Structure 1
Amino acid sequence: MGIREDMPLLARHEGVWDGVYTYYNAAGEKIDEHKSRLFCRFKEGSEHPYHQTNHYTWDDGRTDIREFPATYADKRVWWDNELIKGWAAEVGLDEYNRTVMLYWQRQGDPSLYLYEMIQLSDDGQSRCRTWHWIRNGNLETRTAIQEKLVSRDWAAIEKEMEAQAV
């Protein structure tokens, strides 16, 4: 079986998502916020059958783009790139089939790791995500993310963006 068959909940995340990331320190004070556009792609038969690209924009004009190509094995998506090393898996105990869990560690910083929980709405049109950043066993940061599905057709939107960049 392939990634789509083994991870049907994750496959429901395929597409383009617009959202807002809000970061809070351990005391619950907001320390950052920015908008996002995420491309979640499934490319079966590829070396990286899952590939996510995150576009971030801040109100002050800053931007950042991050690529997260991933491999697939044992009903998990696996990342190992210059930024992170970790995995994503569906939570089988969730009888409603809404929850995906991620674990990753920043490359070069073994004292910091992160757990992420993604909740997909039943209609598949919105999702919320929470990150817990843990350093040396203590909570350092929480990230709350709210997203809406823009389109399942990520390829068409990529083509539009490429055409606009020319």
Structure 2
Amino acid sequence: MTQTPKLQDFNLFPQHVGTWDGTWTICDPEGNKLQQFTAVLEQRIEENQWRQTNHQTYADGSTETQEFVGVVLSHGELEITSDNPPFSNYKTLAKELDDRLILFKIWQKETNTLRAIELIHLVADGYRVRTTQSFTPDGTLQSIMTIVETKR
């Protein structure tokens, strides 16, 4: 019987544990800014699961909180779930690509249609850049998001 790998032994995910402050910028396919907001992400490992809480603050002062849980599939690979809509409708796989890059692939559960691809680049200790390509249900590019974050 194969033992489930320990998340704390992964190459890259443990380097992301902590509290991150960031600015999220969403643009249309032509690069025109649609929305910008700030967020604080709390990322931790608990009982061999990835636990993430996003606290987002919008320009109008409104806030939103989202929770995510990652379960180990194999060394360097997690399945991410959430009870928060719209994320509860998605299947998400996250995979360490090397010592600096994590790739997220997100599908619509109902149709198995690819909805987004996110690349997280740990540029330096305490500094990362995330880029997301989001797609409509028919596969057309819907938006591009850039997130620049620093660790507290």
By the TM > 0.5 criterion, same fold? yes
Structure 1 partner of 2:97 = 91
One-letter code of the match for 2:140? N
Structure 1 partner of 2:58 = 58
Distance 1:60 1:107, change over 3 A: farther
Structure 2 partner of 1:155 = none
Matched, 1:74 2:74: yes
Query: After superposition, where does 1:6-155 map in structure 2 within 5 Å?
Result: 7-45=10-48, 49-75=49-75, 76-82=77-83, 83=87, 84-92=90-98, 97-106=99-108, 111=113, 113-122=115-124, 124-135=125-136, 136-150=138-152
Distance 1:112 1:56, change over 3 A: same
One-letter code of the match for 1:131? T
Any idea what the Cα deviations from partners look like across 1:14-53, whole Å, max 9, x if unmatched? 00000000000112110001000000111134xxx10100
RMSD of aligned alpha carbons: 1.7
60-69 vs 76-85, greater mean Cα deviation? 76-85
CA contact (8 A) 1:15 1:40 kept: yes
77-86 vs 137-146, greater mean Cα deviation? 77-86
Distance 1:119 1:80, change over 3 A: same
Residue 105 of structure 1, CA deviation: 2.6
SS at 2:61 equivalent: coil
Residue 67 of structure 1, CA deviation: 0.3
Gaps of 5+ in 2: none
Larger helix share, 1 or 2: 1
SS at 1:8 equivalent: coil
Distance 1:58 1:109, change over 3 A: farther
CA contact (8 A) 2:55 2:63 kept: yes
One-letter code of the match for 1:130? T
Larger strand share, 1 or 2: 2
Residue 60 of structure 1, CA deviation: 0.8
Residue 3 of structure 1, CA deviation: 1.2
Aligned residues: 141
SS at 1:12 equivalent: helix
Any idea what the Cα deviations from partners look like across 1:97-150, whole Å, max 9, x if unmatched? 21111111355575561100001023x111000000022222110000000001
- Distance in 1, Cα, partners of 2:111 & 2:82: 14
